[in-house]
């Protein structure tokens, strides 16, 4: 049984092989995309037992996604296939550097029609962490209900709930997102907003205000990402004492592809949390994997195995 469970939609991703506008591109490379499965893959590479819950179309793309994620060592026993609904599709431009433009074709996908009936309470029984993002509840009302039910199951079994708001303006407005994301935040133990997401959620990115707010609504761990510069972190202990600080980012000479960096950051933090490391060390892992992710093209291609991660951290200690 998994130590960490995550749930959400993964899509087949067609990445252009040319830097032209997609109007003129003729060749593509097939990959997969999905914030939650990115995290699952990253944690599995570090040797953690991870389970991914989702729905896919009973089509070649759905089987390709399931097989790819399962091949990374992630448990996919809770993935279902829908005969009448397709697997979602994402098409991604090829940039020389920086953020690529992406186009989503996910309306009425199999994952967008997931319901809480797909959740098995037994599957949550021995897990330690539930990781969710703000993408999945934005897909449909039933997906939002499924997320909330998963949180209730996790809480009933004493699990830590990790939440990355991951606001996507293509899916909903800021006003719509704020209400739902704060509802989830109130039920979370660890929250991982970026600076822009903090502004959307509470109207400010002032770190002291952000930490105080999320601690006040029940979050034990608050980590605010500051892009390539690093991340703020705050841990409220059971006795009420608070430890807060800032972790500098690792320098990157050439940024090739930023997609997947935030999920890589979550991988590092969650890995440390599963190993009961101090929050600062968890965040250090997160900044390390985030910096490794942006050096190569692809969402998960830069995520390391344990040996490579520990070597990277040791090398940077020696250089400090």
Residue 20: its pLDDT value, please? 83
At 100 the pLDDT is 75
Q: Which residue has the higher pLDDT, 296 or 109?
A: 109
Domains and CATH numbers, the chain: 4-106+114-319 (3.40.1190.20)
Give 152-187 pLDDT, tens digit per residue: 999 999 999 999 999 999 999 999 999 999 999 999
* pLDDT of 211: 98
Confidence band (pLDDT; 50, 70, 90) for 319? very low
Which pLDDT score is estimated for 19?
Answer: 86
pLDDT digits (tens, 9 = 90+) for 113-134: 999 999 999 999 999 999 999 9
β-strand partners of 232: 224, 246
At 257 the pLDDT is 78
To the nearest 10°, report the CA torsion of 254, 46, 52, 29. 40
Choose the weakest-confidence range: 58-67, 291-300, 302-311.
Answer: 291-300
Q: Which residue has the higher pLDDT, 268 or 99?
A: 268
User: 25-79, pLDDT tens digit by residue?
Assistant: 999 999 999 999 999 999 999 999 999 999 999 999 999 999 999 999 999 999 9
Q: State pLDDT tens for residues 203-240.
A: 999 999 999 999 999 999 999 999 999 999 999 999 99
From the candidates 75, 164, 263, 299, which is the catalytic residue?
Answer: 263
**What mean pLDDT comes out for the span 304-312?**
95
Tell me whether residue 239 is one of the annotated catalytic residues: no
- Phi and psi at 122, nearest 5°, equal -60, -30
Report residue 256's pLDDT band, with 50, 70 and 90 as the boundaries.
confident
- DSSP string of 162-220, one letter each residue: EEE----TTT--HHHHHHHHHHHHTT-SEE--BHHHHHHHHS---HHHHHHHHHHTT-S
pLDDT at 98: 60
Radius of gyration of the chain (CA): 19
Share of the chain above pLDDT 90, in %: 86
User: If you average pLDDT over every residue of the chain, what do you get?
Assistant: 94
Confidence of residue 320 (pLDDT cuts 50, 70, 90): very low
| Cβ(264)–Cβ(119) below 8 Å | no
Query: 3-state DSSP helix/strand/coil percent for the chain, to nearest 5?
Result: 40, 20, 40
Comparing 10-14, 17-21, 276-280, 283-287, the range with the smallest average pLDDT is 17-21
pLDDT value at residue 96 = 67
- The owner of tokens 């933090």 is 269
Q: Which residues contact 287 (CB under 8 A, 6 or more apart)?
A: 230, 231, 247, 248, 249, 250, 265, 268
Spatial contact of 45 and 308, defined as CB atoms under 8 Å apart: no
**pLDDT exceeds 60 at position 318:** no
DSSP secondary structure, 26-37, as one string: --EEEEEE-HHH
Query: Are 12 and 64 contacting, i.e. CB atoms less than 8 angstroms apart?
Result: yes
């Amino acid at each position: 049984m998994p130590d960490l469970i995550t749930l959400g939609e993964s899509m087949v991703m067609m990445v252009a092989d040319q830097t032209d506008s997609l109007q003129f591109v003729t060749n593509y490379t097939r990959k997969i995309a999905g914030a939650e499965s990115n995290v699952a893959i990253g944690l599995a590479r570090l040797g953690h037992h991870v389970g991914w819950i989702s729905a896919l179309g009973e089509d070649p793309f759905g089987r390709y996604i399931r097989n790819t994620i399962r091949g990374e060592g992630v448990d996919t026993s809770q993935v279902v296939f829908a005969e009448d609904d397709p697997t979602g599709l994402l098409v991604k431009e090829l940039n020389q550097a920086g953020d690529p433009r992406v186009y989503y074709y996910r309306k009425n996908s199999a994952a967008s029609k997931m319901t809480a009936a797909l959740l098995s309470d037994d599957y949550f029984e021995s897990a330690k962490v539930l990781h969710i993002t703000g993408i999945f509840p934005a897909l449909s009302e039933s997906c939002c209900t499924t997320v909330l039910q998963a949180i209730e199951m996790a809480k009933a079994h004493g699990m830590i709930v990790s939440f990355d708001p991951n606001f996507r303006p293509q899916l909903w407005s800021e006003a719509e997102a704020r209400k739902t994301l704060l509802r989830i935040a109130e039920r979370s133990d660890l929250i991982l907003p970026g600076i822009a997401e903090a502004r959307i959620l509470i109207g400010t990115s002032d770190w002291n205000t952000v930490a105080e707010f999320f601690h006040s609504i029940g979050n034990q761990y608050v980590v605010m990402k500051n892009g390539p510069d690093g991340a703020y972190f705050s841990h409220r202990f059971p006795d009420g004492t608070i430890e807060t600080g800032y972790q500098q980012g690792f320098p990157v000479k050439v940024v090739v592809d930023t997609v997947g960096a935030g999920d890589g950051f979550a991988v590092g933090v969650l890995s440390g949390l599963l190993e009961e490391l101090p929050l600062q060390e968890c965040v250090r892992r997160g900044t390390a994997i985030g910096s490794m992710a942006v050096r190569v093209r692809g969402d998960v291609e830069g995520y390391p195995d344990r040996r490579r991660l520990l070597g990277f951290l040791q090398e940077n200690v020696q250089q400090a």
